Amino acid sequence: MSARPSSLRIDDPSAHFSVHVDAAIDQVLEDRRLVGAVVLVAHNGELVHRRTAGSADREAGRPMTEDALFRLASVSKPIVSTAAMVLVAQGRLGLDEGIERWLPEFRPRLNGGAAPAITARQLLSHTAGLGYRFFEPDDRGPYALAGVSDGMDRAGITLAENLRRLSSAPLLYAPGSAWGYSLATDVLGAVVERVCGLPLAEAVQLLVTGPLGMRDTAFVARDARRLAAAYVNDMPEPRRMRDLDVVAAFEGTIGIRYAPARALDPDAFASGGAGMVGTAGDFMRLLEALRRGGSPLLPSALVKEMGRDQTGGLALPNAPGFGFGLGFSVLRDPAAATSPESPGTWRWGGAYGHSWFVDHALGLSVVAFTNTLYEGMSGRFVADLRDAVYAAVAAEPRA
């Protein structure tokens, strides 16, 4: 079952978006690679396409709705990163200041030696020397042995305890010398807490979600009835995620430890990198605020800094042509990425099945939240949807 935008007419100037984008959505549903999705496309500040498709809960017969709540996974990162940048704008946090001022107890060491300084910029750009447990090949890795949580299980610990465990494991490289996707945003969340003197959930609401009217975005689902069920890609169709599930995102890795009920647990620690819940519409509010220059949250200069490649040209694994900014990836070379996106396009996703991108040059913001991992994050649908959006832009009537 799917809902199409009833307001579009055949002579509507945005009708061509419906033709191209709906075809990509219809195909992935027909192929049974997704269970449900909410897709929003904004062009030059106008919402030109909105589509709910498939099921929010297949077994219960509940259709997807535009106000469905999703476990955001790494879509949490740009939200918490923006909160940190608001503190930078307020002069309360320095991008290149060592975080030991705020987290003196967090001092992971390098190869058993000294504990080098880590900056907020390095946390935001994932150049801090940290990693993720789910990248380790087995339960004998340092993060696994330390009991580190990646923020999507129900570890029954506090954020402070998780950082203590993380700090006990060695850094993977000297901060600033390499790039590695990591728990850095969880550490950043702890910094935001200390600077604000508030729990992270309250700080993010004060700094970002409140000012933007993102009423459904939080660290726990505010209406369990609207929470989309989670599914895992399988053959011949996605299976419902188990209460405790481990699903490898990359070959040769131990896999991500999922507990979908975490989204309903008010006692789960606030994972800045993976723990939020929200709607597609809420997240579009954030993307559009940043695309338009940052008001009312940030000055345009800091938004530009977020969108600047911070890696010094380092290659991102499995992402040719991309660098990383402060909270999301940045497209350096469309040819290397075999992408129609403009240079400088922002992009990232979330393991529960989400993708998004912002193309400043063309005035595009696109949000695709699904309830199916990993097809909705890194499967064929992500490229198909991207290509459909650019085909629609190419087909747009010219004045």
Residue range 215-255, pLDDT digits in tens: 999 999 999 999 999 999 999 999 999 999 999 988 889 99
This prediction has a pTM of: 0.95
**Residue 124 resides in a domain:** no
**Residue 27 resides in a domain:** yes
Cα–Cα distance measured from residue 372 to residue 354, given in angstroms and rounded to the nearest whole number: 8
**Residue 360 resides in a domain:** yes
pLDDT of residue 5: 37
Q: CB under 8 Å to 233, separation ≥6 — which residues?
A: 33, 372, 373, 374, 375, 379
CATH of the domain at 24: 3.40.710.10
pLDDT of residue 14: 67
pLDDT of residue 12: 55
**Residue 115 resides in a domain:** no
**Residue 296 resides in a domain:** yes
**Residue 228 resides in a domain:** no
**Residue 316 resides in a domain:** yes
Question: What domain range is 388 assigned to?
Answer: 13-70+215-222+277-395
Show the low-confidence residues of the chain (pLDDT under 70): 1-14, 398-399
**Residue 43 resides in a domain:** yes
Please count the structural domains in the chain: 1
Per residue in 266-306, pLDDT tens?
999 999 999 999 999 999 999 999 999 999 999 999 999 99
pLDDT of residue 218: 98
Q: CB pairs under 8 A, 24+ apart, for 51-54?
A: 51/2, 51/3, 51/4, 51/5, 51/21, 51/22, 51/25, 52/2, 52/3, 53/1, 53/2, 53/3, 53/25, 53/26, 53/29, 54/1, 54/2, 54/29
pLDDT of residue 157: 97
149 carries an active-site annotation: no
pLDDT of residue 4: 41
Active-site pick, 74, 149, 167, 271: 74
pLDDT of residue 6: 33
